[in-house]
Amino acid sequence: MKPMRKVVLLMLVLLAALTALGVAGWQLYRAAQPLELTLYFHPFVGPEPLVLNECRYANPGGEGRFKVRDFQFFLSNIRLVSATGAYVESDSYHLVRFDGEEPAFAIVLHDVPCRSYERIEFGIGVDAVANRSVTSRGDLDPNSRMAWTWEVGYKFVLFEGMLLCGNASDPLVYHVGFDENYRIISRELQREQLASSPARLDFRVDILRLFQGATTVDMRALPSVKFDRADAALLGRNFADMITLMRPERD
Amino acid sequence: MPEDNPLTKEAVELGRQLFYEPRLSANGKVSCSTCHIQRLAFTDGRTTSIGVSGKPLTFNSMSLANLMWGPQRFFWNGRAATLEAQVLVPLQHADEMAQDDLGRLVAQLAADTSYRKLFEAAYGKITSANIARALAAFERTLISSNSRYDQFLRGELTLDPQEELGRKLFMAHPDVKVSLRGANCIDCHSQFLTSGSSARYDGFSNNGLDDEAHLQPGLQAVTGNPAHRGLFKVPSLRNIALSAPYMHDGRFNTLEEVLDHYDSGIKNSSTLSPLIVEADNRGAAAARRISLHLTAAEKAAIIAFLHTLTDRDFVTEERFSDPFARK
């Protein structure tokens, strides 16, 4: 082999090696880049996707059928927990609302470090510190319909609708707040759940669980919950279970 | 605040002149200030306004205060998505200012040295878009923040016992179960702003003025959503004691009439809020008829509280006044 040919061959080998290294490096680099993770919340009433303003759902604890006019709740303090550390969203106060315009409510988490997360945690409601403040953080707004007054704090979960029973119709007003009903929810994650691109997690929000759980509510007997602490606690225990992670293969 | 219309001193000064400029109208006699009079908190005291045609309009003149907060859609039915879009509508409406050719108006202003200078300083060119920007900029400066209620919120004074009772009733949804009496106002009129909420269409409500058969389209005309039929913009209550008559069609002449409506005059319809139907200081089971069941003393207390929303500084502030008026 002539010396010139040797040099060319050597250069080609080097180039191939560098390219391979570059691709592998790029893949490693990409894998280490922070993620944008979107959480989707899909509203259901029992097995059915939520349809607003239609009297189609059975009163879980008694006679009649009900319709949902408004349903919204605060979801706070989102954390992703892994063995090597946690991602904590700052000013993490989201008003999750279902206005019938989109099939799901989306929360986008930015700059999520790429780790193997074991679980996601968040609160339903507003933590005691933020609940005593008039500072606007995230979606917290003391002039919004979720605010009672600055002396009382925020409604955590708001359900407004109507119960029809025979010819009679009763307004349904469930406004649940108070510090003791702030619920921290933890849902386990499977390794592959964050591997999709773009990264997403899908949650089922079952509005019926507000009335069906530790206690089953007859809407006729209890058409409104506002400031009575015992009534609020009853729905507070129920709503702890209303959000579950959807597994793509099953849902 | 729109990015293409920053609040500058020059824009506000130009906007103030245009706001009080009768030459903006086709007959040279009607300005924005014809229907938005400062001493009436920028309303006109009429049931519904009257412009160049002399024909009464369909709607009551809205107060112009604190427009940067609360619902960011304008007009009673929310048909304007920005203040800049809003101001051009009465300017061109045949019954209001009837300026059917904005090009002619631009030429007219361009012939005036003083306006040429003002536009040059504020935006560079005289265009209809810049007329709208200037008017919107001036309107954004109309901030009312020194009423007795504001002073109370800042901890500068205490309200008298009647006003304080009224405030508590205003801020409470009644709950018989815990003996909480309330007038339910806060469910639509937010606690600090006293306007509707700003998120989505939360600041629009059906407040029981009409029964099903007489329900007007309201917000539905804008969104097409049947659930929005009969919903109108919840106005700020700042200076409400100065801005009679009340409601989108000016049907109530006094605050007493307004309180009587909310207490016992609500008409039911399919889009009426369950919060209004359910609110009853005697307990919902007592009667099927929708009523708050407030006492006469409670209604008087709420009206006393509403008077604490009057801001004398706002209605006398020189920066908001007619720049053409003789000193």
Does residue A136 lie in a domain region?
yes
What contacts A41, CB < 8 A, 6 or more positions away? Answer: A75, A96, A104, A105, A106, A107, A203, A205, A243
Q: Give the pair of three-digit tokens for residue A109.
A: 């988490």
From the list A149, A171, A172, which residue is nearest B186 (CB)?
A149
Q: Are A218 and A110 found together in one domain? A: yes
Does residue A251 lie in a domain region?
no
Residue A179 pLDDT more than 80? yes
Does residue A92 lie in a domain region?
yes
Does residue A250 lie in a domain region?
no
Does residue A217 lie in a domain region?
yes
Helices (H) and strands (E) in chain A, counts: 3, 14
φ, ψ of residue A186 in degrees (nearest 5): -130, 130
Q: Are A197 and A116 found together in one domain? A: yes
Question: Could you tell me if B191 and A142 are in contact, meaning their C-beta atoms sit under 8 angstroms apart?
Answer: yes
Give CA–CA dist B108/B122, Å, rounded.
18
A160 by Cβ neighbours in 10 Å (0-12 / 13-18 / 19+) ranks as: buried
- pTM for the structure as a whole: 0.92
Residue A2 pLDDT more than 70? no
Local structure of residue B254 (DSSP, 8 states): S
Q: Are A131 and A45 found together in one domain? A: yes
Q: Are A70 and A136 found together in one domain? A: yes
Structure confidence at residue A27 (pLDDT): 64
Structure confidence at residue A17 (pLDDT): 75
Give CA–CA dist B64/B70, Å, rounded.
12
Structure confidence at residue B114 (pLDDT): 97
Give CA–CA dist B180/B127, Å, rounded.
56
Structure confidence at residue A93 (pLDDT): 98
pLDDT tens-digit profile, chain B (327 residues)? 899 999 999 999 999 999 999 999 999 999 999 999 999 999 999 999 999 999 999 999 999 999 999 999 999 999 999 999 999 999 999 999 999 999 999 999 999 999 999 999 999 999 999 999 999 999 999 999 999 999 999 999 999 999 999 999 999 999 999 999 999 999 999 999 999 999 999 999 999 999 999 999 999 999 999 999 999 999 999 999 999 999 999 999 999 999 999 999 999 999 999 999 999 999 755 556 899 999 999 999 999 999 999 999 999 999 999 999 865
Partners of A76 in beta bridges = A93, A123
Structure confidence at residue A5 (pLDDT): 76
Q: Are A38 and A3 found together in one domain? A: no
Average of pLDDT values for A173-181? 97
Q: Are A178 and A192 found together in one domain? A: yes
End-to-end CA distance of chain B: give it in Å, rounded: 33
Q: Are A22 and A38 found together in one domain? A: no
Question: Could you tell me if B65 and B104 are in contact, meaning their C-beta atoms sit under 8 angstroms apart?
Answer: no
Q: Are A214 and A117 found together in one domain? A: yes
Local structure of residue B264 (DSSP, 8 states): I
pLDDT tier for residue A13 given thresholds of 50, 70 and 90: confident
pLDDT tier for residue A250 given thresholds of 50, 70 and 90: very low
Q: Rg of chain A's alpha carbons, rounded to an integer?
A: 25
Torsion of CA A138, A143, A145, A147, to 10 degrees: 80
Structure confidence at residue A251 (pLDDT): 44
Question: Could you tell me if B199 and B156 are in contact, meaning their C-beta atoms sit under 8 angstroms apart?
Answer: no
End-to-end CA distance of chain A: give it in Å, rounded: 65
Does residue A114 lie in a domain region?
yes
Give the residue from A86, A74, A83 showing the smallest Cα distance to A112.
Answer: A86
Report the chain B residue with the minimal C-alpha distance to residue A101: B225
Q: Which of B277, B280, B281, B305 to mutate to test the interface with A (most CBs of A within 10 A)?
A: B277
Strands (E), chain B: 204-205, 232-233
| Complex ipTM value | 0.92
Report the chain A residue with the minimal C-alpha distance to residue B270: A53
Give CA–CA dist A57/B56, Å, rounded.
47
Structure confidence at residue B285 (pLDDT): 54
What contacts B94, CB < 8 A, 6 or more positions away? Answer: B53, B100
A:B CB pairs within 8 Å = 76
Domain count, chain A: 2
Residue A190 pLDDT more than 90? no
Structure confidence at residue A6 (pLDDT): 77
Q: Which of B164, B176, B278 to mutate to test the interface with A (most CBs of A within 10 A)?
A: B278
Task: Give A-chain residues touching B274 at CB under 8 angstroms.
Answer: 69, 160-162, 171-173
Q: Are A106 and A52 found together in one domain? A: yes
Q: State which residues form the domain around A159.
A: 34-245
Structure confidence at residue A19 (pLDDT): 77
Give CA–CA dist A142/B169, Å, rounded.
18
Task: Give B-chain residues touching A154 at CB under 8 angstroms.
Answer: none
Does residue A180 lie in a domain region?
yes
Q: Are A99 and A4 found together in one domain? A: no
CA distances to A232, B51, B52, B204, B308 from B208, rounded to whole Å, are 29, 29, 32, 13, 26
Q: Which of A143, A152, A219 to mutate to test the interface with B (most CBs of B within 10 A)?
A: A143
Q: Are A106 and A184 found together in one domain? A: yes
Residue A114 pLDDT more than 50? yes
Domains annotated on chain B, with CATH: 9-143 (1.10.760.10), 148-310 (1.10.760.10)
Residue A249 pLDDT more than 60? no
Whether omega before B245 lies within 30 degrees of 0, making that bond cis, reads yes
Least confident of A25-39, A96-110, A161-175, B217-231: A25-39
Structure confidence at residue A207 (pLDDT): 98
pLDDT tier for residue A193 given thresholds of 50, 70 and 90: confident
Q: Are A23 and A98 found together in one domain? A: no
Task: Give B-chain residues touching A233 at CB under 8 angstroms.
Answer: none
Does residue A12 lie in a domain region?
yes
Highest mean pLDDT among A8-22, A193-207, B283-297: A193-207
